[in-house]
Amino acid sequence: MILGDRDLRYFIDRGLIKVEPFLSDTVRENGLDLRVGKQIARMRSPGRPLKLGDDVSDFFSVKEGDSFLIQPNEHVLLTTMEYLELPNDVMAFVNLRSSFARLGLFIPPTIVDAGFHGELTIEVVGSAFPVELESGTRFLHLVFAKTLTPIESPYAGKYQGQRGVTLPKFLK
């Protein structure tokens, strides 16, 4: 079952779904809009291949700021301003708001698992032209679905509790 605006307000008012900070325009018709945070990680090539299990920090440059220019076809990681907590029977589909998709920006299919808590780190792929995003701009739309029963093994992975841009973590 997809949660509509009244369902989402019910879950938020009772603390079943937590969104911090929660602003008046966060709840939309059939989901929540999340905002660009204050960090970006730009992918870069250090001139050597990445082997899974390697430290990935050489492959990214993390910066803080109030706005970020995403270059054509550039792949970046952005964080959300909001910290989110989901119960064990609600998950979310992450979508780019359509106005940004109409500019040619793209995000790969992304799910927020039931039981997750943290800020979201999302890959964004640049358009055919540079696009500037300001921190605080609504750019993601999350559509929430309630599972028929609570998840037996809620999310407890390596990104649980993340704050800021979190680089990929590969366990050996």
- 32 touches 8 (CB < 8 A): yes
Rounded to whole angstroms, how far apart are CA atoms 142 and 95? 6
Q: To which residue do tokens 């649980």 refer?
A: 160
Q: To which residue do tokens 């599972």 refer?
A: 147
Residue (of 132, 121, 122, 120) closest to 72 by Cα position: 132
- 86 touches 114 (CB < 8 A): yes
The residue from 119, 123, 132, 152 that is catalytic is 123
123 is catalytic: yes
Q: Where are the beta strands (DSSP E) in 14-168?
A: 18-20, 27-28, 31-43, 60-64, 67-70, 75-85, 90-96, 110-112, 117-125, 131-134, 138-146
Rounded to whole angstroms, how far apart are CA atoms 34 and 25? 10
Rounded to whole angstroms, how far apart are CA atoms 77 and 40? 6
- Which residues are part of the catalytic machinery? 123
